[in-house]
Structure 1
Amino acid sequence: MFHYTVETNQTLEEAVQSLEASLKEEKFGVLWKFNIKETLQNKGFEFDQPYLVLEVCNPKEAQRVLTEDQLVGYFLPCKIVVYEDRETKNTKIGLPKPTALIEMVNDESLKEFAADIEKRLIACIDKSI
């Protein structure tokens, strides 16, 4: 599976706050919060589902991986989504797995790096629920 997703009973706002705190502990910062619902509605499109995309980065790790292979920049910063499930109305938190994305680069030396980042981000998500 190319992604990791969990469900929580927290509100979207609570989940984001908790996630930001756990990311900070791992030295990941949120560079940008893309509010898809708000953006689409501002452009005149109906979209009632709360849906945020957080772009997160650990500068030290970004520098390290980009030094190894510039193509990895196509996947940076890492994305974590936080949204309200249409059916259950519960909040979901997920990310595309770095190990799945790194497969597209065909660089064996980066697989261990991607696995480490993935493990750390999943731990942040799990801690936040």
Structure 2
Amino acid sequence: MNYGIRTTLDQPFTQTLRAVRDALLGQGFGILTEIDMAATMKAKLDVDIAPQVILGACNPPLAYRALQAEESVGLLLPCNVVVRSAGGGRTTVEALDPHVMVAVTGNEQLGAVADDAALRLRAALGSLGGAAAVPAAQGRTSAGASSDAQAEDVLPGSQGTPASGAVAMPQP
């Protein structure tokens, strides 16, 4: 199962981080948490990693709908969006695919919420204008139909060829 939505931009990390915040806001997401992984790794382990920030994005109406369908879905909230330096003036932005909520919980009632959240996250990442790809869904769709599609779709408005898809992982 692919679990991420990704885009890579030919712009510096700091500029991209600002643009991601604005793009998420434009899709109704506020930023509840912000974790500077580079600063944390330096402070806790005295190691250096490339700049990387995890944004905890929340769209309150979507979160409420998800909580109505699955009482424990808070374990999977908020939507994590990672902005990380890819070197050479490039920055990668990745978001956890909200369909992971359906896969992890097995609750198909979350499907409509996941569809809406994924659409908004794809629109936010697509608005950034980078070379982008959204891995096609695998396994069960929110409607319950089986899908084994392996191809990647380029986000609308993106430039270049699709970036590589996310690697499968058993948990979010």
When normalised by structure 2's length, the TM-score is 0.69
| Aligned residue type for 2:11 | Q
Q: Are 2:11 and 1:10 aligned?
A: yes
**Is 2:103 the counterpart of 1:103?**
yes
Q: Which segments of 5 or more consecutive residues in structure 2 lack a partner in the other structure?
A: 130-172
> How far, CA to CA, are the matches of 1:11 and 1:46 in structure 2?
22
Whole-angstrom CA distance in 1 between matches of 2:116 and 2:102:
12
Q: Cα deviation per residue 1:18-66 (whole Å; 9 max; x = unaligned)?
A: 1111211221111121000001101243123111100000112111211
Identity of aligned residues (%): 24
Once the 2 structures are TM-superposed, how far is the Cα of residue 128 of structure 1 from its aligned partner?
A: 2.1
Q: Give the Cα separation in 2 of the matches to 1:51 and 1:22.
A: 18
Residue in 2 aligned with 1:19?
A: 20
> Post-superposition, which runs of at least 4 consecutive aligned residues in structure 1 deviate over 2 A?
none
Aligned AA (2:91) = T
What is the CA–CA distance in structure 1 between the aligned matches of 2:118 and 2:83, rounded to whole Å?
17
How far apart in 2 are the matches of 1:81 and 1:11? 15
Query: Structure 1 residue 72 and structure 2 residue 73: aligned?
Result: yes
Larger RCO (CA under 8 A, 6+ residues apart): 1
Instruction: Give the root-mean-square deviation of aligned CA atoms.
Output: 1.5
Whole-Å separation in 2 of the counterparts to 1:112 and 1:121: 14
The whole-number CA distance in structure 1 between the counterparts of 2:26 and 2:44 is 36
For 2:66 and 2:101, locate their aligned partners in 1 and report how far apart those are by CA, in whole Å: 13
Displacement of 1:89 after TM fit? 5.3
Report the Cα distance in structure 2 between the residues aligned to 1:107 and 1:96, rounded to whole angstroms. Answer: 18
Structure having the higher helix fraction is 1
Amino acid at match of 1:75: L
The answer (yes or no) to whether the contact 2:37–2:53 under 8 Å persists in 1 is: yes
CA distance in 2, matches of 1:109, 1:20: 29
Q: Within 1, Cα distance between the matches of 2:105 and 2:45?
A: 37
Task: Tell me the distance in 2 between the aligned counterparts of 1:42 and 1:61.
Answer: 35
Partner SS, residue 16 of structure 2:
helix
What secondary structure, in the 3-state scheme, does the structure 1 residue paired with 2:92 have?
Answer: strand
What is the match of residue 120 of structure 1? 120
Paired with 2:102 and 2:90, the residues of 1 have a C-alpha distance of: 30
Residue pair 1:72, 1:102 contacting (<8 A) in 2 also: no
